[in-house]
Amino acid sequence: MTTARIIFVDDEPRVLDGLRRSLRVRRDEWGMDFVTSGADALELMAESSCDVIVSDIRMPEMDGAELLTHVSEHHPEVARVALSGQAESDAAIKVAIAGHRFLTKPTDAESVSRVVEQLIVRTSNEHCVEVRRMAGSVRALPTIPEHLGQLTALFRASEIDLATAIRAASHDIGLTAKLLQLSTSAFFGARARTASVESVVNALGLPVVQALTAGEQMLWSPLDLDSADEVHLGMTWRHAVATAHLVESIASPANRAFAYAAALLQDVGRFVCLAHAVKGDTAAMDITASGFRGIPYRHIGVELLHLWGLPEPIINAVAERDLEHEPSSSGMGVATALRAAHLLIQQTESRDHSDGAHDEELAALLTHPQLVARGVDWRSAADEMSTSAEQWSFLETPS
């Protein structure tokens, strides 16, 4: 196995010297380069391949946001880590969009090592290079075209209230993914208490969320989708929302936030591909298919969640959504809860032409003591969630 290659960028040579010394224990596993400018880093990347870049934000000439954005476009296979001592500036917002992981100074070598180590791991075995390139190129996921206007107006309004913002963000796939990505670090100050959009928005504060959504970088939609694709994206989104609402009552309280997020992000791979394809060939991508050029959308989505550092239970649940699950005798995990909710919602959606393929599995899952004990008619609950997802609107005020 070739050693991983990491590039560290900081305009302060002393910081680089410190990192070089404290990361020296890794010298047999990693090839490390330390450079004092973005230009030097890009030059190195042009010469030979690289796995991870760790960059300071505030630098003269090319700052960290600019560098990471450039890397996302020209070297999408390189994982992007921001290491900064300052987070309230406009540059920090740009970095929040361009980066994969965020570390704040002062940080210790172990934290840097841990993040780099995770990023070297690739989730897809068969298509690891292509999957990393596709997932890596994405800075923000697209929102579905019919929602864009409403979301944009909502977040740019001067008097948006917290409840409305949380309700909207937790029903948009791209925003949910980005906010959960930011929740794993204390980059903007406070750290979120749970993996829910609500707690992330509370931790970041509305001004940061509004700053994040202000540019066209964060809230966007592909322009050239044909109507069939738009319809399919709408269905994907409604399925995600219905599943998310249902899984909230299926999952145990401890797993609820994870399960909700996993349900909303279950088909995130399609959005990743869409974002990636926009740069080249939307035509080559078939949204209704299960993959892109032979690579399952699921692999691409899971790689993105991994790159963005979302909590493990969410990633696993998304990865295992299409695997057959058996009810375990112990508590129901996030992945099984998602699988059960997904099958229930799927059944309500395809009632008229159900092939009955997963009927047995679902029936078995519904016998799990955790679900039985609740005394809920899960099939009619699923019907209800599907209907309410059909009618759901961003503009409605939360009751």
Q: What does the binding site for other proteins look like in residue numbers (CB under 8 A)?
A: 12, 14-15, 17-19, 21-22, 24-25, 58-60, 85-86, 88-89, 105-109
Q: Which of 331, 354, 343, 333 is nearest to 385 (CA)?
A: 343
Nearest distance in Å: CB 330, other proteins: 41
Nearer to other proteins, 55 or 282 (CB): 55
Q: Which of 140, 282, 135 is nearest to 223 (CA)?
A: 282
Torsion 237-239-244-246 (CA) sign: positive
Nearest distance in Å: CB 131, other proteins: 34
- Count CA within 13 A, CB hemisphere, residue 161: 6
- Output Rg (C-alpha) for the chain, integer angstroms: 21
Nearer to other proteins, 58 or 133 (CB): 58
Torsion 76-81-85-90 (CA) sign: positive
Nearer to other proteins, 24 or 293 (CB): 24
Nearer to other proteins, 81 or 334 (CB): 81
Nearest distance in Å: CB 16, other proteins: 8
Alpha helices (H) along 170-292: 173-183, 197-204, 206-214, 227-250, 256-264, 268-279
Q: Residue 179: left (phi > 0), alpha (psi -120 to 50), or beta?
A: alpha
User: CB of 71 within 8 A of CB of 45?
Assistant: yes
Nearer to other proteins, 27 or 279 (CB): 27
106: preceding bond cis by omega (within 30 degrees): yes
Q: Which of 244, 175, 251, 172 is nearest to 388 (CA)?
A: 244
Nearer to other proteins, 27 or 379 (CB): 27
Nearer to other proteins, 62 or 338 (CB): 62
Nearest distance in Å: CB 111, other proteins: 11
Nearest distance in Å: CB 58, other proteins: 7
Nearest distance in Å: CB 145, other proteins: 32
Nearest distance in Å: CB 18, other proteins: 3
Nearest distance in Å: CB 105, other proteins: 5
Alpha-carbon distance values, 370 to 250, 257, 261, 314, 335 (Å): 8, 17, 20, 20, 14
Nearer to other proteins, 24 or 379 (CB): 24
**Residue type for position 380:** S
